Amino acid sequence: MSAQIPTKRLTLRDIAAMRRRGEPIAMLTAYDATMAALVDRAGVDMILVGDSLGNVVLGHETTLPVTLDDMIRHAGAVKRGSARALLVCDMPFGSVTDPATAIENAVRVMKETGVEAVKIEGGIAMVPTVEKLVGHGIAVMAHIGLTPQSVHQMGGYYMHGKDEASANRLREEARALEAAGAFAIVLECVTPVLAAEISRSLTIPTIGIGSGQDCAGQVLVINDLIGLNTTPPPSFAKPRADVASVISAAVGEYIADTKAERGPIPLPRRAE
């Protein structure tokens, strides 16, 4: 019997090489070991342990209640379940309020989970934090456009870059974050034309979500991809399966079989 060849986990150099070759990058979220194993074996390039777990796993309306301990717990599970994909962990709301706090919390994430990188939401204001983290040997994926941690400040969820002022701000943010050392930038709900322009202007990969087809890569919430939801997915997400219906049908059959196969069990007689 031949020895099993160990799987080599992708590195930041591999992701950078994909960008240089023009090879699209496929990224998905995962929040537990089983889902991580499934998407990893399917060949996804990067797994994001997203603070979207607040919505799809913990039942919150926004990502704001998610804690650093939540992220560490789920990122550790994803690490244990995967073998090939490069792993990125979201830094939750309130964990990167200043560079010193960001370093302390990001170091904890790296030490306790084993992920390869962290993701930080925000534009120009986050440039000093990205620089500090990169200077301390921590790989950073940036995130601009729709930033769910700022949903209240932004006034809701909507497309960004529609007017020239917004577009110029996003262009400036992308250039500044690349210069600060981010290895990739998520563009969420950025107009497709602008997302394509920004993608062509950077040497690092852009990872789009709801931003059209012309980013260097794409990320989706796994639940939206496989139809594992109790509410409709975002308009930009195209479900490739209907796992929720499969689960409902299986559970329904189980309930029916359990009730049909078992008769009533009489109570024991009590001594008079």
Length, in residues, of the chain:
272
Q: Does residue 119 have a known ligand-binding role?
A: yes
**Residue closest to 138 by CA, chosen among 92, 89, 172:** 89
- Is residue 188 part of the annotated active site? The answer reads yes
Q: Which of 188, 197, 253, 261 is catalytic?
A: 188
pLDDT at 17: 98
52 assigned ligand-binding residue: yes
| Residues of the chain above pLDDT 90, percent | 85
Per-residue pLDDT tens over the stretch 195-253: 999 999 999 999 999 999 999 999 999 999 999 999 889 888 999 999 999 999 999 99
Q: Cα separation of 43 and 31, whole Å?
A: 17
Q: Return d(Cα 217, Cα 197) in angstroms, integer.
A: 14
Q: How far apart are CA 49 and CA 110, in angstroms?
A: 13
Burial of 202 (0-12, 13-18, 19+ CB in 10 A): middle
Whether residue 205 contacts residue 184, with contact meaning beta carbons closer than 8 Å, is answered with yes
- Say yes or no to pLDDT of 52 above 70: yes
178 annotated ligand binder: no
Asked whether residue 40 is marked as a ligand-binding residue, the answer is: no
Assigned token pair, 48: 């994001």
Domains of the chain from N-terminus onward: 12-223 (3.20.20.60)
> Is 45 annotated as a binding-site member?
no
Distance CA 59, CA 36 (A): 20
CA–CA dist 219, 210 (Å, integer)? 9
Give the pLDDT band (50/70/90) at residue 272. Answer: low
d(C-alpha 215, C-alpha 184), whole Å: 11
